Amino acid sequence: MHSQYPLIERYRDFLPVSATTPIISLGEGNTPLIRASNLHHFLGAPSLKLYLKLEGLNPTGSFKDRGMTLAISKAVESGAKAVICASTGNTSASAAAFATKAGLTCYVLLPHGHVALGKLAQAILYGARIIPIKGNFDQALEFVRNLADQCHITIVNSVNPYRLEGQKTAAFEVVEQLEGVPDYLLIPVGNAGNISAYWRGFKLLRKTGGANATPHMFGFEAQGAAAIVRGQPIANPETIATAIRIGNPASWQEAIKAASESDGQIDSVTDDQIIEAYKLLAKLEGIFCEPSSAACLAGLIKHLSMGTIAKDATVVCVLTGNGLKDPDTPLKVSNVDLAPVEADLQKLKTVMGF
Ligand code: AN7
């Protein structure tokens, strides 16, 4: 199917839209599912069938576009003039793009100093009203809930029910692309919306006869922001993976249900494990994702070594965002010498080892 076909049209029968709902689309969804060619060998699991869902190839570079096309379409349908969100970055970029396409004003509250540069750049250029706050994501979301109420602005964080309804379409695509259901689906967890949405999608497919099984859902928080794993909110979450620097996930209970009903787990991975996985994806597979996205590969490595995930399983890792969002991190985590060389052929050959 043509990639610019609106997601809402493709899955209309499974979404809360009518024939008169206006469709605001940027060509979202229908992202590649790529089979790993080197990682499984490197991990000592040559029989592992490892697939990577490249959600960073959505129009604004993250999975958020799947939910945003629906949230903004429904906002337009209801007559809204403005939308608002709190964001660690990707939601703001997506909301800003779809809102401007629809002619709506978009307000975004960002945790000052903790949003990757590419995401901020997007929100600026799409014309969002950007309000950095001296606080973290969880505090920003609390303000957004109040502002939405008091100022009659439509909230487009994942507490907006249409967001997760749109995001569940990723589960449909995985099953279509694999022509079957994976044994495991591994996914990063921040506000815990996406894991909840995938689980809805897989359950719906099983119920409607589109699949005869469901995967075990494994979600991974960053250790410094692992509220669900610890069983209590974290007042000052910290992680290099700024997208999932969230201490009080909004979809906490639904995520726990996804893990328990699917016989899966919510677990955590350290920043070092995240960065190792981030580098491996780039160096072995040619895939540049965000640090947060790499949390699911970090989790796979952990659970392969624990034996919780079998070495011959079919596994899908959801790479939620594009590495270009965060151009600073590669420089911080690599030791490359970028000192310029004289413009001289012999010097170049020497540097290259010829
Ligand atoms: C790349 O943009 O919360 O567990 O405000 O950007 O559904 O929150 C982003 C989250 C994973 C976690 N990967 O998903 C935001 C925001 C990336 C992300 C997550 C996010 P949820």
Cβ of 29 below 6 Å from ligand 1: no
How many A from CA of 241 to the centre of ligand 1?
10
Cβ of 73 below 6 Å from ligand 1: no
Domains defined for the chain, CATH in brackets:
7-61+164-332 (3.40.50.1100), 64-162 (3.40.50.1100)
Instruction: For residue range 266-286, list pLDDT tens digits in order.
Output: 999 999 999 999 999 999 999
The answer to whether residue 2 scores a pLDDT higher than 50 is no
Instruction: For residue range 93-121, list pLDDT tens digits in order.
Output: 999 999 999 999 999 999 999 999 999 99
Instruction: Report d(CA 297, CA 278) in Å as an integer.
Output: 8
Identify the DSSP state of 189: -
Nearest ligand 1 atom to alpha carbon 194:
7
How many A from CA of 191 to the centre of ligand 1?
6
Cβ of 56 below 6 Å from ligand 1: no
261: Cα within 13 Å, side-chain hemisphere: 15
Instruction: Report d(CA 46, CA 42) in Å as an integer.
Output: 8
How many A from CA of 63 to the centre of ligand 1?
8
The answer to whether residue 7 scores a pLDDT higher than 70 is yes
Residue with tokens 């606080």: 135
Cβ of 271 below 6 Å from ligand 1: no
Residue nearest to atom 5 of ligand 1 (CA): 87
> Mean of the pLDDT values across residues 336-342?
94
Nearest ligand 1 atom to alpha carbon 325:
1
> Mean of the pLDDT values across residues 133-152?
97
Identify the DSSP state of 332: H
Cβ of 110 below 6 Å from ligand 1: no
Nearest ligand 1 atom to alpha carbon 94:
2
The answer to whether residue 3 scores a pLDDT higher than 70 is no
Predicted confidence at residue 4, as pLDDT, reads 61
Residue with tokens 């249900």: 257
Residue with tokens 């669900």: 228
Cβ of 242 below 6 Å from ligand 1: no
Least confident residue range of 67-71, 138-142, 337-341: 337-341
Q: In this structure, what token pair is assigned to residue 328?
A: 């600073």
Cβ of 62 below 6 Å from ligand 1: yes
Confidence of residue 287 (pLDDT cuts 50, 70, 90): very high
The answer to whether residue 152 scores a pLDDT higher than 50 is yes
Instruction: For residue range 166-205, list pLDDT tens digits in order.
Output: 999 999 999 999 999 999 999 999 999 999 999 999 999 9
Instruction: For residue range 226-271, list pLDDT tens digits in order.
Output: 999 999 999 999 999 999 999 999 999 999 999 999 999 999 999 9
Q: How confident is the prediction for the chain on average, in pLDDT?
A: 97
Confidence of residue 132 (pLDDT cuts 50, 70, 90): very high
How many A from CA of 13 to the centre of ligand 1?
26
Residue 220 exposed, middle or buried by CB count within 10 Å (0-12, 13-18, 19+): buried
Residue 275 exposed, middle or buried by CB count within 10 Å (0-12, 13-18, 19+): buried
Predicted confidence at residue 5, as pLDDT, reads 84
Instruction: Report d(CA 225, CA 151) in Å as an integer.
Output: 31
Cα 114 versus chain centre, distance: 17
Predicted confidence at residue 1, as pLDDT, reads 44
Amino acid found at 301: I
Cβ of 185 below 6 Å from ligand 1: no
The answer to whether residue 135 scores a pLDDT higher than 80 is yes
Ligand 1 pocket: which of 109, 194, 248, 253 to mutate (most atoms <8 Å of CB)? 194
**Whether 165 contacts 16, CB under 8 Å:** yes
> Mean of the pLDDT values across residues 285-308?
98
How many A from CA of 337 to the centre of ligand 1?
32
Report the 10 Å Cβ neighbour count for 286.
10
How many A from CA of 343 to the centre of ligand 1?
44
